[in-house]
Structure 1
Amino acid sequence: MSESKDLQGLGGWLILVGIGITLSPFIMLFQVAPLYFEIFTSGSFEALTTEGSASYIPMWGALLMSEIVYNACLVVLGFYVMYLFYTKHYLFPRFYIGMVVIVFVFTIINSWMVTLVIEDTEMFDPETTRALVRTAIVALIWIPYMLISERVKQTFVRGVIQQPANSLSV
């Protein structure tokens, strides 16, 4: 069996990537959905967004809505990236890298926005710092792997339009 054939398929280190992308959207749904449900059903949202209430925080509603939209988009993107992975689509490495970068950048931007909206809030609290470190570790390990791995190059090939060998290039 040739070395090229040995490196095709969802094996090797890609198994770890597959576990991560398979679990991520579900974990996010189970962590974030109950939190948002609680905010909207407990009266917290109204208290924090109604002018004149004792708990009113200007722009808190906009911040929360932007987080909800981001998280919803991230869950949808997570399922799409999972689809690309399991179908071995050539776009998988690009979307995976993009998703990792988006999560890292949004975490920083969101932390900064929270400090603008809620006074006396630490930008890099322990939870945010853990999330940034975790995402940075993922990025430092898996982005180079997606870019240089022969297994990745040989596995994610579906959907690529092959040029005939005898066609003329312009």
Structure 2
Amino acid sequence: MEEENNLKGLKGWLIFIGLGLVVSPLRLAAEIGPMFYKMFTDGSFEYLTTPGTESYNPLWEPLLIFEASYNGFMILFAFFLAYLFFKKHYQFPKLYIVFAILPVILIPMDAWLSSLVLKNEEMFDAATAKEMVRALLGAIVWIPYMLVSKRVKITFVEGRSVDAEQVKTPEDKTE
């Protein structure tokens, strides 16, 4: 029981996860927010997606909408996970695993889709490769941690429904 009390809480390696959940959506918003804001307000989006313009490609519109939607979703998902993290909600570990897997799947998919539009560009440029390595390392480290850590199992229990067996008092269990 004492070991359980020592392991319970947002301590140890969980500090890094919490820090990442607070910093990553802010970093992502600061990096991509101005770019997408400018693109959708300065006429760039219309120029790329209007038939007859020099840079038109029918794949630009779905690609740009996908990228903006994906990044917006990941920002909101990170904030939601931070909420679950600090509430110590039992769903946090499972949803964090989903959060870690999504970039590993979607970054290469986005790079491939981009290569269909930007035929003269490398599919994995330096920035894309950096994000892919970051996503892979994060998944390799944190997914197993979420699955096997005693601290995770002991800490993230809030919100779980309690069954009748857990509610019984010691006197009730002797019957």
147-156 vs 72-81, greater mean Cα deviation: 72-81
Per mean C-alpha deviation after superposition, the further-off stretch among 53-62 and 7-16 is 53-62
Moved more, 70-79 or 84-93: 70-79
Contact 1:25 1:79 (C-alpha < 8 Å) held by counterparts: yes
Query: Residues of 1 paired with 2:165 and 2:49: CA distance?
Result: 63
How many residues are paired up? 167
The residue number in structure 1 matching 2:102 is 102
- Structural mapping, 1:1-170, within 5 Å: 2-165=2-165
Q: Secondary structure at the match of 1:75?
A: helix
Question: Distance in 2 between the 1:58 and 1:120 partners?
Answer: 17
Q: Pairwise CA RMSD of aligned residues?
A: 1.6
Q: Which amino acid aligns with 1:21?
A: L
Percent of residue pairs identical: 41
Deviation at 1:165, TM superposition (A): 2.4
Contact 1:57 1:118 in 2 (8 A): no
For 1:59, the aligned partner's letter is L
Q: What one-letter code is carried by the residue in structure 2 that aligns with 1:94?
A: K
Amino acid corresponding to residue 150 of structure 2 in structure 1: E
Structure 2 Cα separation of the partners of residues 24 and 133 of structure 1: 15
SS in 2 for 1:165: helix
Between 102-111 and 22-31, report the one with greater CA deviation: 22-31
Cα distance in 1 between the residues matched to 2:40 and 2:165:
60
Tell me, in whole angstroms, the C-alpha distance in 2 between the residues paired with 1:50 and 1:4: 61
Q: Secondary structure at the match of 1:73?
A: helix
Distance 2:143 2:124 in 1: 24
User: What is the SS of the residue equivalent to 1:161?
Assistant: coil
How far did residue 40 of structure 1 move? Answer: 2.1
- Larger CA deviation: 19-28 vs 81-90: 19-28
The 1-side partners of 2:140 and 2:40 are apart by: 37
Q: When the two structures are superposed, what TM-score results if normalisation uses the length of structure 2?
A: 0.90
User: Which is richer in helix?
Assistant: 2
Ranges in structure 2 where 5+ consecutive residues have no aligned partner: 169-175
Moved more, 13-22 or 48-57: 48-57
Once residues 134 and 67 of structure 1 are traced to their aligned partners in structure 2, the CA distance between those partners, rounded to angstroms, is 18
| Superposition TM-score, scaled by structure 1 size | 0.92
Structure 1, unaligned runs of 5 or more: none
Q: Return the offset for 1:118.
A: 2.2
Secondary structure of 1:46's aligned partner:
helix
> 2:173: which partner in 1?
none
